[in-house]
């Protein structure tokens, strides 16, 4: 056998880049940015790549997560699961790989339903949702894709399903914020963490 034809052991493939832009080392980040990332790691067991990618610009990191928290962690007429439904449905419409995968995982966990994120991402109109939730997503998709067409009748339909006008603002703000996030994620080439893919898909086994 010709030694030149022997296949040599290949090195393991390099880990895929999580961004097209430089990702700073944790030690080089400002103290408050590093503390926020450490808090998330302690809670989740890993660092979602969005935190590392946006740390490239600390001022924008702070503004992004302040607005994110104001929209997604507030009390109001929408549940945390419904807020994540808006993110998944509009991010799918905007073809944002990162947000569909990451927020799909969060949606599954909040709703304790392993199929819901896939259903919402592919076609929310056929998902196992209430009529109220479908109306919510109809409005969110209109904000994400055809905001110039929004009219008073859209608000009236939401009211018919029990949403207050402040809820309509929340729906619109979440859709609008994540439309920005989707475009930034696509531009940076933000890669979802592998951990997200399996989160919430199988029920946790009770302790022995």
Give 67-115 pLDDT, tens digit per residue: 999 999 999 999 999 999 999 999 999 999 999 999 999 999 999 999 9
Instruction: Collapse the DSSP code of 2 into the 3-class scheme (helix H, G, I; strand E, B; otherwise coil) and give the result.
Output: coil
Q: Among residues 208, 152, 169, which one has the least CA distance to residue 77?
A: 169
CB 80, CB 50: distance < 8 Å: no
What element of type H or E holds 63?
helix 58-72
Q: Using an 8 Å Cβ cutoff, are 31 and 45 in contact? A: no
The residue among 89, 129, 143, 145 whose CA lies nearest residue 154 is 143
Q: What is the pLDDT of residues 6-63, one digit of tens each?
A: 545 566 677 899 999 999 999 999 999 999 999 999 999 999 999 999 999 999 999 9
Predicted TM-score of the model (pTM): 0.91
**Whole-angstrom Cα Rg for the chain:** 20
Rounded-to-10 torsion of CA 140, 146, 176, 150: -70
């Amino acid at each position: 056998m010709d030694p030149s034809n022997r296949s040599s052991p290949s090195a393991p493939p390099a880990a895929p880049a999580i961004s097209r832009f430089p990702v700073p080392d944790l030690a080089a980040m400002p103290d408050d940015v590093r503390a926020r990332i450490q808090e998330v790691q302690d809670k989740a067991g890993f660092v979602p790549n969005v935190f590392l990618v946006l740390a490239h610009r600390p001022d924008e990191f702070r503004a992004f997560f302040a607005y994110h928290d104001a929209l997604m962690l507030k009390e109001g007429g929408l549940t945390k699961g419904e807020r994540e439904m808006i993110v998944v449905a509009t991010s799918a419409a905007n073809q944002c790989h990162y947000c569909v995968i990451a927020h799909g995982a969060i949606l599954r966990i909040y709703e304790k339903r392993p199929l819901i994120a896939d259903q919402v991402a592919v076609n929310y109109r056929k998902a196992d949702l209430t009529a109220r939730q479908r109306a919510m997503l109809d409005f969110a998709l209109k904000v994400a894709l055809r905001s110039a067409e929004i009219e008073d009748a859209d608000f009236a339909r939401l009211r018919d399903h029990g949403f207050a006008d402040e809820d309509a603002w929340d729906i619109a703000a979440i859709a609008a914020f994540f439309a920005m996030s989707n475009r930034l994620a696509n531009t940076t080439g933000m890669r979802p963490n592998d951990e997200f893919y399996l989160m919430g898909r199988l029920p946790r086994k009770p302790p022995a």
